[in-house]
Amino acid sequence: MSNEFVHSVTVPRIYKITADIVRRVREDGASLKTLIYEKKHPNVAGIYGLAVNVLQALPQLDQLFDKTQILTEQPRLNPWLARVLITELLWRKRCLKNRSKPVLTVLAYENKLREESINLGYIKTFVDHKDKVKTFSFMVLIIRNCRILSSRQNKQVKIGDLQDYQSRPCHQESIYNKKNNCAMGPAAVLGTLFLYSIAMFTLPFAAFFMIQRFMILEFQTDTAVTNYISVLAAVITVNLIISCYVYQALNEPVEEKEQIKRPRYVRVNTLLLSVEEAISFFQQDGWQLLPKSTTHSSYLQSLSQLSKPYFIQDLHIPEMLAFPPSTIFHDHSGYRNGKLILQDKASSLPVHLLNPISGSTVLDMCAAPGMKATHVAAKLQNNGKIYAVEIDAKRFKTLLTQIEKTHALCVEPLNQDVLTLDPKLYSHVEYILVDPTCSGSGIIDRPKQSEMDGTPEPKRLKNLQSFQVYLLRYALFNFPNAKRITYSTCSLHPEENEEVVDEVLANVGNAYRLLPVRQLLKNDWTNFSSKKYNCEDLCLYSRPDDDFCNGFFVAVFERNFDVTLPKCKLKGGNEYSMNLIGTNLNIKKDDMAKTSAHQQEKCEKKKKKKKKEEKKVISMSDEQMKISADIVEFEVPDIDSKIKAKSKKEIEKMDVCNDSFNFNKALNESKDIQEETLDVMETKKSRKKRKSKHENTLQETDYDEKEQNKEIEVELPKIKKKKENKGIKIDKIHKIEQAEETVIGPSKKRKKSKEIY
């Protein structure tokens, strides 16, 4: 039976979808926006807002679970659905109107949840924040008003006049000087605020006294009526001033807002559709193509002013098209059939700078989700070979779907660790993409899941840096025919960028050189690496505030075949594997020595155990000898008493012979028993089995003895009746001898049984 509720009243679909999205984001590391658009729910904005709030409140929710024990007391409640419902109850709508079982379960714990949240300070912080917003909202409006009233160089330009606007020299460099656009200094701002505060306090009082005097002089009303009307006039004056501030703040131009919105980039999959065909299809849909920019500054200005129904072709990457920020393509037919790829411009720069030649062999060392590998396939037009390596199984599935969707036939996916590739089997690789795991600090549209998002952690950056150096060094040293290698990250931290490049350059010597990205992009770029590092400004940075795309870092290494690759024993170097083999051999030798010593100790322990077992067996043999002697002593007098019917002379002779004969046999049997016990010791059987066998043999001897005694009692009267016949007497005497032998026979039977055992 399932562990979840069987709902008589269904849970709202938005809660179910949000719970599944949040689970996959946290457990699988999936993209939040991709999952939201996959669900195809009509309320995309509601799901996005709820999912972001749940992700931000996950630490608080875990503490609430520990305090209230809701999950332990209600094991059938889905924990991710519970997180969504509690977030909705405590911090969003503050109520749950549905009557399904999960909702009723959460509502049953509502008082506990609210009490614990107040004790932990979560609701209090939320309320305090709202109070602060109410208290300082008026001051915020004043400050924003000051910013609006301040003189700026940039003015809003209509999209139709964009071409003329780009040609004006006074506006071409304005986008880079946003921080210096404000003509008002600090003193001017404070003076303006002082004037505003005076106006806020003086105008209401002026209105109050003017109305009061007017009412007294003109209408001669009572004092109470005059005061009421004067106060009303003052309140109206205050509200009018506030309304003016609000109106100016709400009508602030879009270009003056602090947050920069990134345009929606679309890469045309040239394996299925040409760029010209894609542009014509968009124009048939009602979009209008802006003229292609000639300089980087004019292109950036076009992006900053981009709005519907206009789009523009990228300045650097011809197959990249830029649309207004809020354009949605997830339902577009071109996106569904793989003709259009939703890819940011920054992530397409490494492939553009790698620039592989048609028919070449390319290695993508960290291929998932497949954007770069399929971009390379489009560059090669499926004429060549691409090895797309991905170690993670789930991300490898995403890679496979992307390859199939884009018809990238020259891509060979490999689900393994790239560091385990045999360089001899892939020595023909000519171009390599190195895009390792990074902090992702350059991605601007990723929702914050905690307060620590965006703040670098030194330990995590150090661990990432060591892995990035390892991977880049492995690419440079182990593929001798590689012509060009690009190293890229979606991070803005120098620990993952310039410091990694500097460390590897110190190892590789002159066998590789950094290509100046400025020349590769024909000087149409503005942000580069810092000159304080050894790589200087040869690497590329894309910054969201300046380049209208995600933050990215790209370094391009080119092979110098005139210089042989140096030998490197460091981690990832070409001789690092030999060092590993040597260390492994030494480890094996140490292990062999340890195992031999351990085996000697085991042998000594076994010898000691054998000695102990021998002592125990000897003691057991002594006991068995005593038992056999007792049996002999017990059996002999019985035989004597039973043979008294014979003649005294013959019987006395027979008794003497029998006694001597029995005594000698008993001694021999005791010797046999000792030999048998030594044989038993060599078989190394357990004591319990020996005891059980011994007891069985004793029971068999007792049973045989009783049967033989009965036979003797039957034979003795017959011997008395036939005393006269000597032959008969002799026969009977032989029978009695046989009977005596059978009495002593159990010891021989024991011997046989032990031999069988």
Q: Any known ligand binding at 417?
A: yes
| Count of Cβ atoms closer than 10 Å to residue 618 Cβ | 14
Q: Give the three-state DSSP class for 325.
A: coil
CA separation for the pair 468, 461 (Å, rounded)? 10
Instruction: Provide the pairing of β-strand 320-323 with 310-313.
Output: antiparallel
CA separation for the pair 443, 491 (Å, rounded)? 8
Question: SS3 for 164-181, per residue?
Answer: HHHHCHHHCCHHHHHHHC
Q: Which of 627, 629, 621 is nearest to 679 (CA)?
A: 621
Contacts from 416-420 at CB under 8 Å and sequence distance 24+? 416/389, 416/391, 417/389, 417/391, 418/365, 418/366, 418/389, 418/391, 418/471, 418/474, 419/470, 419/471, 419/474, 419/572
CA separation for the pair 142, 156 (Å, rounded)? 22
Q: Any known ligand binding at 562?
A: no
Where is 603: in which H helix or E strand?
Answer: helix 576-642
CB 272 within 8 A of CB 406: yes
CA separation for the pair 66, 89 (Å, rounded)? 18
CB 318 within 8 A of CB 327: no
Q: Which of 70, 76, 30 is nearest to 51 (CA)?
A: 30
Question: SS3 for 457-474, per residue?
Answer: CHHHHHHHHHHHHHHHHH
Question: SS3 for 100-165, per residue?
Answer: CHHHHHHHHCHHHHHHHHHHHCHHHHHHHHHHHHHHHHHHHHHHHHHHHHCCCCCCCCCHHHHHHH
Instruction: Record the tokens describing residue 175, joined without a space.
Output: 């986008």
CA separation for the pair 668, 586 (Å, rounded)? 61
CA separation for the pair 675, 658 (Å, rounded)? 25
Helix axes 44-56, 32-39, angle to 10 degrees: 140
CB 444 within 8 A of CB 543: no
CB 714 within 8 A of CB 661: no
Instruction: Record the tokens describing residue 589, joined without a space.
Output: 């030798």
Where is 432: in which H helix or E strand?
Answer: strand 431-434
Helix spans in 381-533 (H):
393-406, 458-477, 498-508, 517-520
490 is annotated as an active-site residue? yes
Distances, alpha carbon 180 to alpha carbons 152, 183, 354, in Å: 9, 8, 37
Among 366, 410, 490, 539, the active-site one is 490
Q: Which of 116, 140, 32 is nearest to 66 (CA)?
A: 116
Strand partners, 388: 364, 413
Question: What positions carry a catalytic annotation?
Answer: 490
Residue ranges at the known binding site for S-adenosyl-L-methionine: 390, 417, 435
Residue ranges at the known binding site: 390, 417, 435
